Amino acid sequence: MAFPIDSTTITHGIQLSVAPVFLLTAVTGMIGAVAGRLARIIDRARLVEDRSRDSTDAEWLARAGHELRQLRVRGMLANGCIALLTLCGLLIGLTIIVIFVGETGAMQISRWAITSFLLGVACFLAALLCFLAETFLATRVLEFRVRPGAGPLEPGRPRG
């Protein structure tokens, strides 16, 4: 079955498909930011693990174990965020395809476009919530005080 090619219809289909592309741009930016945070979480966990192997200080080992548990949770949140953003990108890409095919192929599939777009936006919002939770956890471990008599702080060691 051949479809007549109408340049006006194709142009309109492209115009409709461009709007979701802006959301794809936001998704790629977020994936880059979260991937960077995940890399820092992994680097920090490796550093704490390495220092824990060389330490016999029970207090340090307890703090290190607590920090590693928090880093694990943060890593899972970052991974979940990346998965949701990837799913969002796939759904928005599907939206673009459905809009274009529906507009140029004279097929009535607008419900598919609406559904895939709304699901994509829902995934994006859920990813933002994961990102927010991860940043709250990241800042919760910070202590902006020094114990009296604790001496100079060593770079990379938790404050306590």
Residue 160 located in a structural domain: no
Ordered DSSP codes for 23-72: HHHHHHHHHHHHHHHHHHHHHHHHHHHHHHHH---HHHHHHHHHHHHHHH
Residue 43 located in a structural domain: yes
3-state secondary structure of 1: coil
pLDDT, averaged across the chain: 83
* pLDDT tens digits for range 42-52: 999 999 998 88
- Structure-model confidence comparison of residues 36 and 54, the more confident one: 36
Residue 159 located in a structural domain: no
pLDDT at 128 over 90: yes
pLDDT at 124 over 90: yes
Residue 132 located in a structural domain: yes
Task: Give the integer Cα–Cα distance in Å for 104 and 91.
Answer: 20
Domain count, the chain: 1
Cα Rg, the chain, nearest whole Å? 24
* pLDDT tens digits for range 3-45: 556 667 667 666 666 778 888 999 999 999 999 999 999 999 9
Which residues are within 8 A (CB) of 3 and not within 5 positions of it... i.e. 6 or more apart?
Answer: 104, 105, 106
Residue 120 located in a structural domain: yes
The whole-number pLDDT of residue 23 equals 87
Q: DSSP character for 101?
A: H
The domain of 98 spans 14-140
- Structure-model confidence comparison of residues 57 and 132, the more confident one: 132
pTM of the model: 0.76
